[in-house]
Amino acid sequence: MQAIHNVRLATMQGDGYGLIEQGLIVFNASGIQYAGEHLSHAEGGPDLSQVELLDGGGGLVTPGLIDCHTHLVWAGSRANEFAQRLHGASYADIAAQGGGIAATVAATRAASLEQIIALSQPRLEALMREGVTTIEIKSGYGLSYEHERKQLLAARALADSNPVSVVTTLLAAHALPPEYQQQPDAYIDLIVEQILPQIAAEGLADAVDAFCEKVGFTTVQTERVFAAAKALNLPVKLHAEQLSNQAGSQLAARYQALSCDHLEYLDEAGVAAMAASNTVAVLLPGAYYFLREQQLPPLALLREYQVPIALATDANPGTSPIFSLLLMLQMGATLFRLTPEECLRGVTVAAAQALGLHDRGQLKAGMRADLCWWDCADPATLSYQFGLQQLRGCWHQGQRR
Ligand code: DI6
Ligand code: FE
């Protein structure tokens, strides 16, 4: 049994940080045993006689951070494309030359499973260095059974070889593969008849996602994917209203989606639908920043309807080549005007909900001992300053890493 004392606890219970000033947290590999005020045993606090006690030095303990939306496993680089764009090439020019998502699909298909794992390992390590203890990883750069499976196997392999929990998502409906260029419906047939059932049978996907957009799939096509996922008892989520409003969020809400993600063009009807289905709004400020978007997600409406708000990196080679969840806190505050409380909730309690996980994201007896111990006492510091190594310790399932 281990314990940390002389710390503030941001339990994330209630509406804000759920702060406890003179905090004590007691835990082991099976979970948090106590998280609360540091009372002596005589006053009714836990018995610390058999416990390895760590002095938290007046710092802060939060739940381990959760990055609930990433595309972490791919091969190839799009740095050349980024440079071309800065020299004036348009996204359409680049796509016409085989660039964009198609370039990443070609490189990912050409790479072996081992190569994808090796390329993804440092990306994962960068996130873990900042306190990420759970990460979602999507496929979506394979676009065939063989190569979507390879991406998901890479995600599972990363989970096996790192002290971190990985949740996988099948995103076969991300883009049209080259062999289906003029036949989107035939590709949807392939997804619902082959890719999804086989991946589900192998237990490789924890959820199913799609890209519902003018440059992606229509709501009719998306609904076919959702219906197939539902028949296999897999929860759904959606890349929705990123570049335009397609009412994808309303469709997703009808399928009790765990989350709708991006949401810059979300309208009130979509917000209301998400509120009614308890769907989390996952905001991705890194993609907003990297694409130099102007349209802000509807924060006032999300707050009014009390839709939980999560924040994630969207780590991907095209629109968010960013491997820092703490940077998303600062961007959430600066670009989206989220409060520091909302930012921290967005990578803890709300992110857990976005992944359908009820055993983490808060400091509470019975939850997993996924913990971050920070140098700062004020949790707003985590959104305020960026680039200082403030993480003094991190535990995944009670093991210090
Ligand atoms: N939205 C995005 O921003 C990424 N995927 C998606 O559905 C883009 C992925 C890429 O450009 O590689
Ligand atoms: Fe994404």
Q: What are phi and psi for residue 116, nearest 5 degrees?
A: -65, -40
- Of 244, 227, 240, nearest to 307 (Cα)? 240
Q: Is 101 in the pocket of ligand 1 (CB under 6 A)?
A: yes
Q: What's the confidence (pLDDT) of residue 241?
A: 96
Q: Would the CB of 138 count as within 6 Å of ligand 1?
A: no
What is the best residue among 82, 319, 320 to mutate for testing ligand 1's pocket, by most ligand atoms within 8 Å of CB?
319
CA of 148 to the centre of ligand 1 (A): 16
Render pLDDT for 311-365 as a digit per residue (tens, 0 to 9).
999 999 999 999 999 999 999 999 999 999 999 999 999 999 999 999 999 999 9
The predicted pLDDT at position 231 comes to: 98
Ligand nearest to the CA of residue 287, numbered in listed order: 1
For residue 321, how far is its CA from the centre of ligand 1 (angstroms)? 10
Query: Does ligand 1 have an atom closer than 6 angstroms to the CB of 240?
Result: no
Are the C-beta atoms of residues 78 and 316 closer than 8 Å to each other?
Answer: no
Q: Minimum-distance ligand to the CA of 316?
A: 1
Stretch 292-314: mean pLDDT:
97
Closest-CA residue, ligand 1 atom 4, reads 319
CB atoms within 10 A of CB 243: 16
Rg, the chain, Cα only: 21
Q: Is 108 in the pocket of ligand 1 (CB under 6 A)?
A: no
With 80 as the cut, is the pLDDT of residue 91 above it? Answer: no
Q: To 10 degrees, the CA torsion angle through 379, 383, 384, 388?
A: 90
| Phi, psi angle pair for 102, to nearest 5° | -60, -35
Give yes or no for a contact between 305 and 272, defined as CB atoms under 8 angstroms apart: yes
Structure tokens at 148: 């979507």
How remote is the CA of residue 71 from the centroid of ligand 2, in Å? 6
Instruction: Convert the pLDDT of each residue in 267-288 to its tens digit.
Output: 999 999 999 999 999 999 999 9
Q: Which of 40, 4, 21, 18 is nearest to 363 (CA)?
A: 18
Three-state SS sequence of the chain: CEEEEEEEEECCCCCCCCEEEEEEEEEECCEEEEEEECCCCCCCCCCCCCCEEEEEEEEEEEECEEECCCCCCCCCCCHHHHHHHHCCCCHHHHHHCCCCHHHHHHHHHHCCHHHHHHHHHHHHHHHHHCCEEEEEEECCCCCCHHHHHHHHHHHHHHHHHCCCEEEEEEEEECCCCHHHCCCHHHHHHHHHHHHHHHHHHCCCCCEEEEEECCCCECHHHHHHHHHHHHHCCCCEEEEECCCCCCCHHHHHHHCCCCEEEECCCCCHHHHHHHHHCCCEEEECHHHHHHCCCCCCCCHHHHHHCCCCEEECCCCECCCECCCCHHHHHHHHHHCCCCCHHHHHHHCCHHHHHHCCCCCCCCCCCCCCCCEEEECCCCCCHHHHCCCCCCEEEEEECCEEC
Nearby residues for ligand 2 (ion, Cβ within 5 Å): 314
39-43, 72-76, 109-113, 114-118, range with the lowest pLDDT: 39-43
Cβ–ligand 1 distance for 239 under 6 Å, the answer: yes
Which pLDDT belongs to residue 90? 84
Annotated binding-site members for Zn(2+): 69, 71, 239, 314
- Centre of ligand 1 to C-alpha 175, Å, is 9
Instruction: Describe the strand order of the beta sheet including 391-396 as a list of residue ranges.
Output: 31-37, 19-28, 2-10, 52-63, 371-374, 391-396, 399-400
User: At which residue do the structure tokens 């049978």 appear?
Assistant: 201
Residue nearest to atom 9 of ligand 1 (CA): 318
Mean residue pLDDT across the chain: 97
**pTM, 2 dp:** 0.98
Percent of the chain past pLDDT 90, that is, above it, reads 96
Across residues 206-211, what is the average pLDDT?
A: 98
CA-to-CA separations, 245 to 61, 127, 279, in angstroms, rounded: 39, 31, 17
101 alpha carbon to ligand 2 midpoint, in Å?
Answer: 12
